[in-house]
């Protein structure tokens, strides 16, 4: 297993290229199951999760080939329909829950699918009841069998679906189910994330009729068929936000190339409240860590609120800001696993229910720390950038799921960081 070794003390100065968004690429790859021809995506991030989704599409019978450029991928349906397998196996779904996103497209196009229940993960139980409730509302028969979800419906029909909470992949699964259904589907209390808007954009490029994406009410008029497309994937706002925190903490000056400010409004507002300079430029977002960092309170919410995927990174920022910051994690029930690791680096953090109280301003010191989930791992790397001496982050396979070549990108702007074997 790999580890990452970081030596603290260097400012980050220069330009970091932001990769395509993981949480857009995964639903978009699943959406490629819908059209009758080969679709091509550009600006695909080089991530383990994308590799896993590619393996799943191949398992279903689709051809998945690297395109002309390094970050392009072409997905083509099997020439012989007999080669299609409508089953997503446990071994793939358990490594990456977003595999569950093939359910909607398969039922929409082929009338049935058998997908392993994703099960929980480090940050929470991650139920899928909303995905299934929506499919049942569209007329599907849903059976749970030996850890698998079996969904059948000759032809889905449009329905009004009121989600109990704005689930991102739940919304995405149901959008992909609805595009080929008979009639109109309305998803109320829909997720408003930019990645949901990106999926609607691509579905409409395929010939679907999706409106309202980005608002709490999405309407889909079913169509008979969809055409293959070519599309460049939006930049990863969470990768950009992660590097923004790193630049701020090291008192650096970094251009996040390709990042879009409109995707990060809540994060930018909090960075500015913390005393960080953030300026939109033609090439992206420039972040300067100039003066003293100020303590800020964070409450994670569905978009456009502060994203849960930036909570761990902001906790590290809070550790550097003199005073008390209160962080409230409202989305997932177990997303504080970075806390004990940060405390081993000298952080002063108290967990009380869903809140984490951070007393910042103390110098962190390097040590060996354990990555537990994707964003927690990123927060430990950021902590290592400012900690005294060396920090070893173990089990970095968590990091590789969601950050492309993180050590190369950070080293290119001055970080003392390298990858090694544990
Ligand atoms: C997506 O996960 C993202 N993953 C997550 O990013 C992100 O943290 C999350 O949305 C919230 O923004 C992808 O897009 C691939 P949810 P998702 O369904 O869709 C509850 C990362 O680090 N819920 O919006 O699985 C659920 O328990 C990852 O990149 C139900 O109760 O999250 C949670 O409390 C981590 N029933 C809340 O909703 C359901 O059927 C939000 O979960 C579905 C969800």
What pLDDT was estimated at residue 422? 84
Check if the beta carbon of residue 135 is closer than 8 Å to that of residue 174: yes
Q: Which of 216, 196, 220 is nearest to 207 (CA)?
A: 220
Q: Is the CB of 24 under 6 A from ligand 1?
A: no
Q: How open is the CA angle 239-244-250, to the nearest 5 degrees?
A: 130
Q: Are strands 148-152 and 141-145 parallel, antiparallel or unpaired?
A: antiparallel
Q: Are strands 63-66 and 73-76 parallel, antiparallel or unpaired?
A: antiparallel
Cβ neighbourhood burial of 282 (10 Å; 0-12, 13-18, 19+): exposed
Separation of CA 140 and ligand 1 centre (Å) = 23
402 pLDDT exceeds 80?
yes
Cβ neighbourhood burial of 257 (10 Å; 0-12, 13-18, 19+): middle
What pLDDT was estimated at residue 122? 81
What is the set of domains in the chain, with CATH numbers? Answer: 2-19+235-421 (3.65.10.10), 22-232 (3.65.10.10)
Which of 144, 151, 168 for a ligand 1 pocket mutation test, highest count of atoms within 8 Å of Cβ? 168
What pLDDT was estimated at residue 126? 85
Q: Is the CB of 45 under 6 A from ligand 1?
A: no
> Is 171 noted as a catalytic residue in this protein?
no
Cα–Cα separations (whole angstroms), residue 399 to 80, 120, 325: 38, 19, 26
Q: Each residue of 234-265: pLDDT tens digit?
A: 999 999 999 999 999 999 999 999 999 999 99
Q: Is the CB of 124 under 6 A from ligand 1?
A: yes
163 pLDDT exceeds 90?
yes
Check if the beta carbon of residue 29 is closer than 8 Å to that of residue 419: no
Helix (H) or strand (E) holding 341: helix 338-344
Separation of CA 168 and ligand 1 centre (Å) = 6
Q: Each residue of 338-374: pLDDT tens digit?
A: 999 999 999 999 999 999 999 999 999 999 999 888 9
């Amino acid at each position: 297993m790999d580890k990452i070794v970081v030596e603290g003390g260097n400012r980050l100065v220069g330009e970091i290229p932001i990769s395509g968004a993981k949480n857009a690429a995964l639903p978009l790859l699943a959406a490629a199951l819908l059209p009758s021809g080969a679709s091509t995506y550009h600006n695909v991030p080089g991530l383990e999760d994308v590799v896993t989704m590619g393996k799943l599409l191949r398992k279903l019978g689709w051809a998945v080939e690297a395109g002309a450029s390094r970050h392009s991928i072409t997905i083509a349906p099997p020439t012989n329909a007999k080669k299609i397998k409508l089953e997503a196996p446990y071994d793939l779904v358990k490594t990456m829950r977003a595999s569950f996103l093939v359910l909607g497209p398969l039922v929409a196009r082929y009338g049935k699918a058998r997908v392993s229940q994703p099960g929980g993960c480090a940050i929470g139980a991650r139920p899928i009841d909303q995905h299934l409730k929506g499919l049942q509302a569209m007329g599907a028969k849903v059976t749970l069998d030996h850890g698998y979800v079996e969904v059948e419906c000759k032809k889905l029909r449009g329905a009004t679906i009121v989600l109990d909470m704005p689930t991102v992949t739940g919304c995405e699964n149901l959008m992909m189910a609805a595009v080929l259904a008979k009639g109109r589907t309305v998803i109320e209390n829909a997720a408003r994330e930019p990645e949901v808007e990106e999926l609607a954009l691509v579905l409409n490029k395929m010939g679907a009729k999706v409106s309202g994406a980005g608002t709490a009410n999405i309407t889909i008029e079913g169509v008979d068929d969809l055409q293959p497309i070519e599309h460049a994937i939006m930049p990863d706002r969470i990768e950009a936000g992660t590097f923004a925190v790193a630049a701020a903490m090291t008192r650096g000056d970094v251009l996040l190339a390709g990042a879009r400010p409109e995707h990060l409004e809540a994060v930018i507002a909090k960075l500015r409240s913390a005393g960080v300079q953030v300026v939109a430029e033609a090439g992206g977002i420039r972040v300067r860590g100039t003066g003293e960092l100020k303590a800020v309170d964070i409450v994670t919410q569905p978009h456009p609120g502060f994203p849960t995927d930036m909570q761990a990174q902001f906790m590290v920022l809070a550790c550097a800001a003199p005073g008390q910051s209160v962080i409230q994690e409202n989305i997932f029930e177990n997303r504080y696993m970075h806390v004990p690791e940060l405390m081993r680096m000298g952080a002063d953090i108290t967990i009380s229910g869903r809140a984490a109280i951070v007393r910042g301003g103390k110098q962190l010191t390097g040590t060996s720390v354990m990555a537990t989930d994707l964003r927690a791992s990123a927060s430990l790397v950021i902590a290592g950038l400012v900690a005294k001496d060396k920090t070893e982050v173990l089990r970095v396979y968590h990091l590789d799921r969601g950050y492309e070549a993180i050590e190369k990108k950070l080293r290119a702007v001055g970080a003392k960081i390298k990858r090694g074997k544990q």
